[in-house]
Amino acid sequence: MTVRELRVSLGERSYPILIGPGLLGRSDALSKLAQGRQVAVVTNDTVAALYEARLAASLAGATTRLSIRLPDGEAYKNWESLDRIFERLLRERFDRQCLLVALGGGVIGDITGFAAAVYQRGVDFVQVPTTLLAQVDSSVGGKTAINHPLGKNMIGAFHQPKLVLADVETLRTLPPRELSAGLAEMIKHGAIADPGYLARLERDLAALRACDPAALADAVLRSCEIKAAVVAADEREAGVRATLNFGHTFGHAIEAGLGYGQWLHGEAVGAGMVMASDLSCRLGLLEAPVLERLRGTIAAAGLPVRGPAWSFERYVELMSVDKKAEQGTPKFVLLERLGAARVQRVPDAALRATLSACSG
Amino acid sequence: MTVRELRVSLGERSYPILIGPGLLGRSDALSKLAQGRQVAVVTNDTVAALYEARLAASLAGATTRLSIRLPDGEAYKNWESLDRIFERLLRERFDRQCLLVALGGGVIGDITGFAAAVYQRGVDFVQVPTTLLAQVDSSVGGKTAINHPLGKNMIGAFHQPKLVLADVETLRTLPPRELSAGLAEMIKHGAIADPGYLARLERDLAALRACDPAALADAVLRSCEIKAAVVAADEREAGVRATLNFGHTFGHAIEAGLGYGQWLHGEAVGAGMVMASDLSCRLGLLEAPVLERLRGTIAAAGLPVRGPAWSFERYVELMSVDKKAEQGTPKFVLLERLGAARVQRVPDAALRATLSACSG
């Protein structure tokens, strides 16, 4: 199978995304970047045991190679993990010319990217996403962050990687629940930007859930294309990029309310997309059959379609610290039809009806 | 006295610096920025008691006004102070459209700027520097940072303010030691970029140390012009901006070795400039009379001209974690003559001779 390549166009911050099976062990692009530099691979114990050795060949030209292992899970996407990276880099005298490599899922990618954004005011980094969610979402677009006890992704930066290597072979070891979480973001890409892609995902759902490499590589490519196009048009989320948050106002509230890591991010987004679609219907934007179709697809992907049984007040409280909120009033990404989304505030009554219909 | 204004030219990140007495209480520029936004003033107890009330008029149009007070001193330029800001902003539901105002010296400016760089991946901020050092140095150029236990300014970002208000009246309450620390950076500007300005500083030194407002405003303006020109040419310190670190390789080592806050930053830079000039002489770049003139000017400004009595190995150890170091080898900003600086590595023998001549 050939390696698929696309380029994220961001002027001097442009970078390539390479997609295909077996990339980890034989990447010329990574070798070139690592040549003659201090390189630190940031990963967690689970991923390190499976894949860190394969990366070694691509990093052979580094002057120093460091392995930094963080505890596994969203609960550790915090200041302590970040400081562990800084401490190792400083002790090993890593300078501003060093390169960080994020080997793992979204948590590793977000922390490593943020570490790269602020270590000595900014160093280069490479994303090697090993989960479906990270391959189609968090490793594309340069959003990096850690969580704060008072809010998810509240502390972060926009910092673009120099290269993304998405090796679909790594998805074979992914638990089914994590595969489904990745599918949530792919369904999102179809829903907000490309109805044809959504139809293809629906058709290939069984192959994707069975980790068919060709089906995965094609779908990862299309999702990355959609996300890259949106990011290129609006790197710092002043406008259209916000539509990528479809399902996320509800989703973030669910994750924060349950405590990070109880539901996977993609699971919360799955239920969140149903809730946002329901809200779009109630506001007269979306037709009911489209809502039902999305609900069915999300369920067939192995994702929840209802939020936790909380009061209206609890949901609103949780949503009002969302980064899309303005002066405490949350905003929502709504669907006008498949392939077309917009961002707006909504009346309390509609929100109340959606929460009552789609949670508990 | 008229308000002096200059503009830092950085494309869409350009911003004005306003300099003059009495600006705090009557700034149209600040009023406009604060209008209709959530505004947080970050300051310390000392500065708050003296100047926070004066700012109130300029912030009258804010929807929410928050005062965040940090402990005073370089020792608190750390993660704990930063998190104190995040915690207050999150509790008060400050969104991405909020504005932070740094009211204080370099420590407050650096922490607040870094908080603004990473809070919700970046919000606007204004610098209101109340020390001479901050007015001529840290508030111009967008470098923000906190210290790490293993190194000064190791964690940070480039994040430009929307406005800098330098009210020279605030310098009247500055302890003489802090005034001298500011003079160190001004002497540096003259030494690396403008011999005529250096001569003017030497001539006006008594008036400056006596806080003459016109002399201060003129000198602050010229220092800001020099720094702004260097920053505009090289925002992210890929080249010429590094010359602003004249005296800083030694200076940072002194600060780190003594423990932050023992010597003021400007004091360490004062001794560091003498050491760097001595090194420049030993390498055949600079004439001995220029070294002696600089040593005299730095002493006359009330600054130390010798480093602490440490071994060569101790100095090298401390300097090898400097951000200008590459793979553990420190680089130095050397003078070729007054007004011309360059960055390079140096032979151990010359460094050893300089340390033995200029420390202890």
Quote ipTM for the complex: 0.89
- The pLDDT of residue A79 is 96
Assess whether A222 carries a catalytic annotation. Answer: no
Alpha helices (runs of H) in chain A, residue ranges in sequence order: 28-34, 45-47, 53-55, 79-91, 106-118, 132-133, 176-193, 195-209, 213-233, 248-258, 265-282, 288-300, 312-319, 348-358
Residues of B in contact with A39 (CB under 8 A): none
Within 8 A by CB and 6+ apart from B225, the residues are: B6
* Domain covering B176-358 in this structure, CATH number: 1.20.1090.10
Phi/psi class of residue B102: alpha, beta or left (left: φ > 0; alpha: ψ in -120 to 50)? beta
Alpha carbon distance A31, A34 (integer Å): 5
Q: Which of A81, A118, A160, A326 to mutate to test the interface with B (most CBs of B within 10 A)?
A: A118
Nearest Cα of chain B lies from the Cα of A205 at a distance, in angstroms, of 35
Alpha carbon distance A199, A190 (integer Å): 8
Of B87, B114, B321, Cβ closest to residue A93:
B321
Would you state the structure tokens that stand for residue A169, as one six-digit string? 């072979």
Residue B324: pLDDT band by 50, 70, 90 thresholds? Answer: low
Assess whether A248 carries a catalytic annotation. Answer: yes
> What is the CA angle B49-B54-B55, rounded to 5?
105
Alpha carbon distance A203, A192 (integer Å): 18
φ, ψ for residue A111, nearest 5 deg? -70, -45
Taking residue A80's Cβ as centre, other Cβ atoms within 10 Å add up to: 11
Catalytic one of A4, A37, A69, A227: A227
* Domain covering A176-212+237-358 in this structure, CATH number: 1.20.1090.10
> Among all chains, which residue has been given the structure tokens 């300099």?
B19
pLDDT in tens for each of the 360 residues of chain A? 689 999 998 888 999 999 998 898 888 999 999 999 999 999 999 999 999 999 988 999 999 999 999 998 888 999 999 999 999 999 999 999 999 999 999 999 999 999 999 999 999 999 999 999 999 998 888 999 999 998 889 999 999 999 999 999 999 999 999 999 999 999 999 999 999 999 999 999 999 999 999 999 999 999 999 999 999 898 888 888 999 999 999 999 999 899 877 899 899 999 999 999 999 999 999 999 999 999 999 999 999 999 999 999 999 999 987 666 666 788 999 999 999 999 999 999 999 999 999 998
The H or E element containing residue A126 is: strand A124-129
Nearest to B179 by CA among B218, B141, B220, B128: B220
Residues of A at the B interface, defined by Cβ within 8 angstroms: 38, 63, 79, 83, 86-87, 90-91, 93, 95-97, 114, 117-122, 143, 145, 148, 150-151, 153-158, 236, 320-321, 323, 325-328
Of B83, B97, B325, Cβ closest to residue A95:
B325
Alpha carbon distance B358, B306 (integer Å): 5
Q: Confirm or reject CATH 3.40.50.1970 for domain B4-173, answering yes or no.
A: yes
Residue contacts between A and B (CB atoms, under 8 Å): 103
Residues of B in contact with A323 (CB under 8 A): 95-96, 120-121
Alpha carbon distance B321, B253 (integer Å): 9
Q: Do A63 and B97 touch (CB under 8 A)?
A: no
- The pLDDT of residue A239 is 84
Q: Helices B195-209 and B213-233 meet at what angle, rounded to 10? A: 140
Residues of A in contact with B121 (CB under 8 A): 143, 145, 153, 156-158, 323
Amino acid making up residue B81 = S
Nearest to B222 by CA among B179, B176, B183: B183
Alpha carbon distance A33, A124 (integer Å): 9
Assess whether A143 carries a catalytic annotation. Answer: yes
Residues of A in contact with B151 (CB under 8 A): 90
Nearest Cα of chain B lies from the Cα of A208 at a distance, in angstroms, of 33
Give the chain B residue whose CA is nearest to the CA of A151: B90
Give the chain A residue whose CA is nearest to the CA of B145: A121
φ, ψ for residue B18, nearest 5 deg? -110, 135
Residues of B in contact with A83 (CB under 8 A): 79
Q: Bridge partners of B359?
A: B307
Nearest Cα of chain A lies from the Cα of B97 at a distance, in angstroms, of 7
Alpha carbon distance A27, B308 (integer Å): 50
Residue spans of the domains in chain B: they are 4-173, 176-358
SS3 A8: strand
Q: Bridge partners of B144?
A: B157
- The pLDDT of residue A220 is 97
Amino acid making up residue B271 = A
- Check residues A261 and B256 and name the one with the higher pLDDT: B256
Taking residue B71's Cβ as centre, other Cβ atoms within 10 Å add up to: 12
Q: Do B157 and A157 touch (CB under 8 A)?
A: yes
